[in-house]
């Protein structure tokens, strides 16, 4: 059984006071304002129905016992709908309901999901349905099945798949089944695009609204290409990709012209014709195309991931299978809403379900926009992937990619399928897989379908239903796996193998893993004018290289020749660059120094600085190290033979001042005795 959720259910959970404020450095949708997650409680901690959960039954009962006298036209229509459903042997979420809320007016939300405690799955025969009102129109009723997802270590609570809307302002929930099977703490979470805190919707504060009867969404084959009905994304006009937006005490940028030209160049590449969502900051949109990625990928920083919600430490493992998913919902979202929807899914997975991060490695909307999901997914080394939470018991060794929308009765768009296939092919090629249409052995952790340690021959591109008892990625979505595999194979064929042949005007890098006079690894990376940096960019314990070209940075997660995994702009051409693990999460990132001001970044992405501090003097020499062994790198400044050491990324006085060596010495930093703390050395 998964651990119960510990987040309190007070009227408003003060996440804001706890410092969980959405990152101001990358706003997912400028039209979105921060709002609390709304919680609709349907059962108590003992599994008893709440007042809210039974309020809709009274209306249905009164309609059914009216004898046809004095019944409003709307109720006559409702009764007719019930009769049609009964004659067809179907289910009516109102007439057959064990629990039924009224149609309730709520604040706008983009993502919804049911959660409960006491069991990982809902009992057989107990089903939950949901319908929502978008733009004044009520949707069909949708069956919300248990997600079959979650962390392999069972951290978190049970819940349904995330239900995606195009912006809903009313909702109605139904539960069908036996009262004895009702789970404890069943609730419905309604998540806005910029969630902050949580608010329980009390019965006395709820308003019911009129709702016409609607049918239950049922599977049926749809036309192959639905792109004609989609609003085309709008191209972004690239602006200056300079350093952090000015923060308190920070001077205005002055070198925008150079950054504009270089950032625009960095954004070109194999785009696949996909535009970046127009709601993304233009300075960030320019940095989404990595040299080796087959399509632009909108990074976590770009869609506005709040790093405070990310509590799940990344773990990288060998991976050579792809699991394809869909979400659930109405499919009525616009391209400009996609980033906010991803943000809502992130909150649902990380906080509501208690996983500590989004479960998917990547998400692709119906417009073909690709979003980075789980932290570290784009920066994983070739042949590896950060373990996600997309398929319980089958997360380890797979990449999970989700098509945003419900594809039970309609088809994913051709652009969506193409970019899912390209991302799958990119991943498989780097894992050494030569056939996207083949199968290979896969060993499960533990699922309802397969025992822990059981090994089967699994298609290298599979649907979620292949590894668990779920209908995901929908009947129509599953039927499109052949098309995805075909595109993935084309991508594999199009990608050249890694080569250590010298590229034109590139730098030759010689690495030595021992103390012999011969290099252990030789490869080519960067231009002859590039500055080469080193760091552990993905937290796998292996340092690899990065290149700096003016304001542009690129990096790789393997010590081999090739293009940068991703290119982004940060800082100014004249800044001094520092490398360190500033937040102690096991990955190195960058900081730039301008005089005595330091701009720290906790991810290898463009955007504003995560922290800005003033320390020392403009003429000081700067050293980086973990001076107190807490796992976080901080600064020291050297002035002659005096060192001013700081144990936190803050302004203010030094925590320690030491005099060591001579003014003319060259200072070096290292953990010389292996005790976990860095100290000084000097070279004469």
Higher pLDDT, 242 or 136: 136
- Measure the CA–CA gap between 416 and 410, rounded to whole angstroms: 13
% of the chain surpassing 70 pLDDT: 79
Dump pLDDT digits (tens) for 446-490: 777 898 999 999 999 999 999 998 999 999 999 999 999 999 999
Q: What is the pLDDT of residue 214?
A: 93
Q: Looking at 69-83, 282-296, 644-658, which range is the least confident one?
A: 69-83
Q: What is the pLDDT at residue 513?
A: 85
What is the reported pLDDT for 264? 25
Confidence at 60, pLDDT banded by 50, 70, 90: low
Decide if 422 contacts 487 (C-beta within 8 A).
Answer: yes
Determine which of 288-292, 584-588, 603-607, 675-679 has the lowest per-residue pLDDT on average. 288-292
Tokens of 486: 């075909």
Q: What is the mean pLDDT of residues 269-292?
A: 37
- Alpha carbons within 13 A on the beta-carbon side of 553: 30
Summarize the confidence of residues 173-183 as an average pLDDT: 96
Question: Among candidates 492, 464, 489, which has minimal Cα distance to 478?
Answer: 464
- Who wins on pLDDT, 594 or 607? 594
Residue 59 binned pLDDT confidence (cut-offs 50, 70, 90): low
403 burial type by CB count under 10 A (0-12 exposed, 13-18 middle, 19+ buried):
buried
Least confident span in 446-450, 504-508, 544-548: 504-508
Residue 383, class by beta-carbon neighbours within 10 Å (0-12 exposed, 13-18 middle, 19+ buried)?
Answer: middle
Does pLDDT of 270 surpass 70?
Answer: no
Of 239, 236, 344, the closest CA to residue 606 belongs to 239
Nearest to 294 by CA among 403, 430, 131: 430
Percent of the chain with pLDDT over 90: 65
Q: Which residues pair with 401 in a beta bridge?
A: 324, 362
Tell me: cis bond preceding 473? Omega within 30 of 0 counts.
Answer: yes
Binned at pLDDT 50, 70 and 90, residue 535 comes out as: very high
DSSP state of 255: -
Could you tell me the pLDDT band of residue 497, with boundaries at 50, 70 and 90? Answer: low
Quote the mean pLDDT of the chain. Answer: 81
CA distance 548 to 578: 12
> What span, in angstroms and rounded, lies between the C-alpha atoms of 150 and 350?
10
Q: Which pLDDT band, with edges at 50, 70 and 90, does 564 fall under?
A: confident
DSSP 64-116: HTSTTSS--HHHHHHHHHHHHHHHTT---TTTT-SEEPPPEEEEEEEEEEEEE
The pLDDT of 130-134, averaged and rounded, is: 97
pLDDT digits (tens, 9 = 90+) for 351-377: 999 999 999 999 999 999 999 999 999
Instruction: Kindly state the average pLDDT of the residues 601-619.
Output: 93
DSSP 229: G
Query: Residue 599 has what pLDDT?
Result: 98
Q: What is the mean pLDDT of residues 263-286?
A: 32
Q: Taking Cα atoms as reference points, which of 448, 419, 539, 467 lies closest to residue 321?
A: 467
* Rounded distance between C-alpha atoms, residue 258 and residue 639, angstroms: 33
Number of other CB atoms surrounding residue 475 within 10 Å: 15
**Does residue 233 register a pLDDT over 90?**
no
Distance in angstroms (rounded) separating the CA atoms of residues 417 and 484: 6
Confidence at residue 446, expressed as pLDDT on a 0 to 100 scale: 78
Question: Residue 593 pLDDT > 90, yes or no?
Answer: yes
Task: Please state which of the ranges 81-85, 328-332, 451-455 shows the lowest mean pLDDT.
Answer: 81-85
According to the model, what pLDDT value does residue 31 have? 53
Residue 635 has pLDDT above 50, yes or no: yes
The structure tokens 């021992």 sit at 514
Q: State the pTM of this model.
A: 0.65
- Measured CA to CA, the distance from residue 182 to residue 98 in angstroms comes to 9
Residue 640, pLDDT above cutoff 90: yes
* Average pLDDT value for residue range 423-438: 95
Starting at the edge strand that comes first in sequence, how are the strands of the sheet with 611-614 ordered? Answer: 576-580, 589-594, 597-600, 611-614
| Cα 284 off chain centre by | 16
Give 469's contacts (C-beta < 8 A, 6+ positions apart): 148, 448, 449
- Greatest CA separation for the chain: 102
- Write the CB contacts of 588 (distance below 8 Å, at least 6 apart in sequence): 535, 536, 537, 543, 579, 580, 581
Judge whether residue 379 has pLDDT over 50.
yes
The confidence score (pLDDT) of residue 24 equals 32
| Rounded Cα distance, 441 and 463, in Å | 16
Query: How are the residues of the chain apportioned to helix, strand and coil, as percentages rounded to the nearest 5?
Result: 15, 30, 55
The region of weakest confidence among 207-221, 385-399, 499-513 is: 499-513
Please state the domain extents for the chain: 12-208, 506-683
Q: Which helix (H) or strand (E) holds 659?
A: strand 656-659
Q: Is 30's pLDDT higher than 50?
A: no
Give dist(CA 321, CA 11) in Å, integer: 43
Residue 442: the pLDDT is 96
Contact 492, 428 (CB under 8 A): yes
The Cα–Cα gap between 22 and 343 comes to 10
pLDDT higher than threshold 60 for residue 631: yes
pLDDT at 75 exceeding the cut of 80: no
pLDDT of residue 435: 95
Q: Name the pLDDT band for 334 (thresholds 50, 70, 90).
A: very high
């Amino acid at each position: 059984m998964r651990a119960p959720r510990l987040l309190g259910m007070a009227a408003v959970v003060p996440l804001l006071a706890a410092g969980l404020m959405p990152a101001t450095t990358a706003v997912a949708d400028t039209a979105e304002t921060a709002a609390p997650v709304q919680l609709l409680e349907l059962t108590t901690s003992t599994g008893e129905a709440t007042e809210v959960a039974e309020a809709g039954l009274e209306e249905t009962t009164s309609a059914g016992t009216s004898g046809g006298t004095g019944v409003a036209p709307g109720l006559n229509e409702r009764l007719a709908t019930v009769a049609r459903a009964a004659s067809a042997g179907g289910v009516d979420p109102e007439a057959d309901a064990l629990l039924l809320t009224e149609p309730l007016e709520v604040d706008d939300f983009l993502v919804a999901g049911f959660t409960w405690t006491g069991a990982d799955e809902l009992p057989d025969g107990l089903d939950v349905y949901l319908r929502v009102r978008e733009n004044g129109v009520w949707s069909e009723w949708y069956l919300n099945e248990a997600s079959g997802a979650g962390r392999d270590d069972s951290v978190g609570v049970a819940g349904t798949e995330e239900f995606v809307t195009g912006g809903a302002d009313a909702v109605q929930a139904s539960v069908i089944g036996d009262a004895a099977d009702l789970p404890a703490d069943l609730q419905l979470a309604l998540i806005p695009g910029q969630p902050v805190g949580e608010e329980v919707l009390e019965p006395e504060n709820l308003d019911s609204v009129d709702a016409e009867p609607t049918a239950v969404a049922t599977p049926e084959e749809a036309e192959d290409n639905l792109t004609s009905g989609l609003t085309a994304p709008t191209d972004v006009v690239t602006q200056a990709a300079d350093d952090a937006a000015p923060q308190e005490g920070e001077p205005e940028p002055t070198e925008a012209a150079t950054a504009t030209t270089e950032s625009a160049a960095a954004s070109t590449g194999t785009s696949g014709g996909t535009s970046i969502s127009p709601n993304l900051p233009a300075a960030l949109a320019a940095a989404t195309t990595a040299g080796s990625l087959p399509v632009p990928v909108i990074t976590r920083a770009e869609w506005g991931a709040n790093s405070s919600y990310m509590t799940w430490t990344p773990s990288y493992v060998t991976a050579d299978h792809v699991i394809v998913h869909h979400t659930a919902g109405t499919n009525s979202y616009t391209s400009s809403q996609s980033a906010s929807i991803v943000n809502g899914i992130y909150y649902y997975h990380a906080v509501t379900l208690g996983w500590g991060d989004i479960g998917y490695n990547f998400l692709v909307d119906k417009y073909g926009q690709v979003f980075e999901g789980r932290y570290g997914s784009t920066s994983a080394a070739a042949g590896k992937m950060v373990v996600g939470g997309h398929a319980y018991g089958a997360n380890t060794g797979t990449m999970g990619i989700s098509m945003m929308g419900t594809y039970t009765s309609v088809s994913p768009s051709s652009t969506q399928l193409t970019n899912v296939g390209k991302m799958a092919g990119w991943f498989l090629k780097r894992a050494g897989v030569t056939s996207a249409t083949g199968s290979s052995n896969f060993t499960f952790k533990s699922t309802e379908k397969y025992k822990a340690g059981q090994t089967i021959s699994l298609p290298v591109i599979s649907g979620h239903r292949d590894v668990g008892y779920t209908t995901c990625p929908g009947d129509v979505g599953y039927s499109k796996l052949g098309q995805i595999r075909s595109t993935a194979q084309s991508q594999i064929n199009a990608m050249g193998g890694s080569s250590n042949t010298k590229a034109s005007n590139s730098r030759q890098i010689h690495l030595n893993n021992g103390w012999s006079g011969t290099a252990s690894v030789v490869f080519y990376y960067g231009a002859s004018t590039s500055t080469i940096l080193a760091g552990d960019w993905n937290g796998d314990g292996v340092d690899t290289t990065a290149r700096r070209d003016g304001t542009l940075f690129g990096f790789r997660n393997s010590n081999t020749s090739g293009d940068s995994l991703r290119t982004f702009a940060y800082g100014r051409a004249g800044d001094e660059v520092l490398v360190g693990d500033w937040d102690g999460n096991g990955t190195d990132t960058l900081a730039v120094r301008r005089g005595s001001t330091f701009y720290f970044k906790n991810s290898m992405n463009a955007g504003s600085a995560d922290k800005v501090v003033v320390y020392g003097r403009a003429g000081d020499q700067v050293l980086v190290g973990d001076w107190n062994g807490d796992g976080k790198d901080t600064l020291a400044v050297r002035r002659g033979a005096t060192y001013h050491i700081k144990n936190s990324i803050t302004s203010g006085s030094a925590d320690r001042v030491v005099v060591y060596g001579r003014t003319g010495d060259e200072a070096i930093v290292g953990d010389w005795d292996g005790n976990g703390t860095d100290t000084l050395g000097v070279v004469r």
